[in-house]
Chains A and B, each alone.
Chain A
């Protein structure tokens, strides 16, 4: 699996947009970019994923660069409940069940 690089921590003021970057310079053409988050002591929560195009859902937006070597997860209006560890994961589309390889993630702290 391709590896990802994320900053270890970030701060964001409540109500502002949180932009979480991820580098995946060795990504292959058949690999998706997935984002999960894990609030303290809970199970990881799926946020969004994409292949080439930008994606948006009710939780967040995912912006993938044209060369696919990096991406940014955007939480448009961060709240205190968005404080969590955010994982960017690159995963091949295999057609079968396969593992998610979690990196160390970015710890996002949302403050008042």
Chain B
């Protein structure tokens, strides 16, 4: 089973709202990732968590706040977003230490008004 689930599938929010994206996997993977994909562009990495600790932040603005409450869950908290943050947000997970194939969820399509 290589399933990563993401909720919600779609999200519309205003620039003053606070919302959260959720990602879950039950494959025992210890690395989890957030990617952002703008329309007609390839995915770009935002954050990496390894063993529930933030290991990579690709200079993402502070209005995006990741959280990894346990090894199966990854959240992305959103606050004061801009319309240009509208995108598909993808979560992925992988094992660590030599078995690094990343498996992606279906994504959350975010629209910021």
Query: What total of A-B pairs shows CB separation below 8 Å?
Result: 67
Q: B33 contacts which of A46, A97, A102 (Cβ < 8 Å)?
A: A97
Main secondary structure of the interface of A (DSSP, over half): loop
Q: B42 contacts which of A45, A93, A96, A103 (Cβ < 8 Å)?
A: A103
Interface size class of A (residues with CB under 8 A): 20 to 34
B97:A96 contact, CB within 8 angstroms? yes
- With both beta carbons as reference points, the residue of chain A lying nearest to B31 in the complex is identified as A97
Given pairs A46-B2, A46-B104, A97-B96, 16 additional interface contacts (CB within 8 A): A36-B104, A41-B107, A42-B106, A42-B107, A43-B92, A49-B101, A91-B100, A95-B97, A96-B31, A96-B50, A96-B55, A96-B97, A97-B31, A97-B50, A97-B94, A99-B58
Interface residues of B (CB under 8 A from A): 2, 4, 6, 31, 33, 42-45, 48-50, 55-56, 58, 88, 90, 92, 94, 96-98, 100-107, 109
